[in-house]
Amino acid sequence: MLNTILITIVIIAIAVLLLGIKVFFIDGGKFPSMHISANKEMKRRGITCAMSTDARDRNTKTLKDYIEQESN
């Protein structure tokens, strides 16, 4: 039982070190941003996150637009 726990701890420690190589060993290193707006390829294709799209739509649609959308 103790051997299993120790092996598990060692495997998790190795995984954390491998995932954080850039953060731990490179000066000024940081984890890459996982947000859509920080991705250059997504920006090039004009893809934005759902929250940004929703905020933009809320500022551009009028009550009349919402009523017409519901009636169709």
Count of domains forming the chain: 2
- Considering the domain architecture, whether residues 25 and 52 belong to the same structural domain is answered as no
**Amino acid in the structure at residue 12:** I
Q: d(Cα 32, Cα 40) in Å, to the nearest integer?
A: 12
Q: Are residues 66 and 37 in the same domain?
A: yes
Average pLDDT, the chain: 84
Structure tokens at 19: 């995932």
Residue 15 has pLDDT above 80, yes or no: yes
pLDDT at 8: 97
**Do residues 26 and 39 share a domain?**
no
Mean of pLDDT values over 13-31: 81
User: What integer pLDDT is reported at residue 61 of this predicted model?
Assistant: 74
Higher-pLDDT residue of 6 and 43 is 6
Q: What range defines the domain where residue 25 resides? A: 1-31
Let me know whether 15 and 36 are in one domain. Answer: no
CB atoms within 10 A of CB 13: 10
Q: How many CA atoms lie within 13 A of 23 on its CB side?
A: 9
Quick: pLDDT tens for 25-37: 777 777 777 778 7
Q: Is 45 helix (H, G, I), strand (E, B) or coil?
A: helix
Confidence (pTM): 0.43
